[in-house]
Amino acid sequence: MATRDVNTAHWLSMLYRSHGDWLAVWLRRQTGCSHRAEDLCQDTFVRLLNKAERPVLREPRAFLINIAKGLLIDQYRRAQLERNYLEGLANQPEDIHPSPEELAILVEALAEVERLLGTLSPKARAAFFYNRLDGLTHAEIATRLGVSVPRVRQYIAQGLRQCYIALYGTPHESI
């Protein structure tokens, strides 16, 4: 194991021991569910583990809350997407409801879309969701995220590309 990996593991272990229980309690108050809180707490530290660079933390709890809030927002949007899908499905005539096999394929595709959108930067993911789920304009998104409108277009394009990859595979570049 490389020295950096050992140092990162030790740093993360110390951070978890110092703030993990506190974060779980904070998340429990936010979610009202101890199981969701524990999952989100673990996901928060996994996000830290997956960072390329170990951040310098002046305020560790504020940093952890920031990551956890992002995860809460992602979870809320995922649930909203699922509710919208199920509501749309319920409004369909009986004869066009998907079969169990089709439903399984749809769920698998949605999971792959979710996984690939998770690889986007937080701002790119937020821009994509603001546009596709919340219906915000590019200018509104730019204001919320503190970026330019062309940058918002790039973010949304990144999200659309990830959705395309999830559904159809990696596009072939033309020569």
Token digits of residue 110: 């949605």
Residue spans per domain, the chain:
1-97, 98-175
What is the rounded CA–CA span in Å between residue 52 and residue 64? 17
CATH 1.10.4030.10 fits 98-175, yes or no: no
pLDDT digit string, tens, across residues 121-173: 888 888 988 888 788 999 999 999 999 999 999 999 998 888 888 778 877 65
- Pairwise CA distance, residues 138 & 151, whole Å: 9
Q: Tell me the per-residue pLDDT of 50-95, one tens digit each, with 9 for 90 and over.
A: 776 777 788 999 999 999 998 888 888 777 777 777 777 777 776 6
Tell the burial category of 172 from Cβ atoms under 10 Å away from its Cβ (0-12, 13-18, 19+). exposed
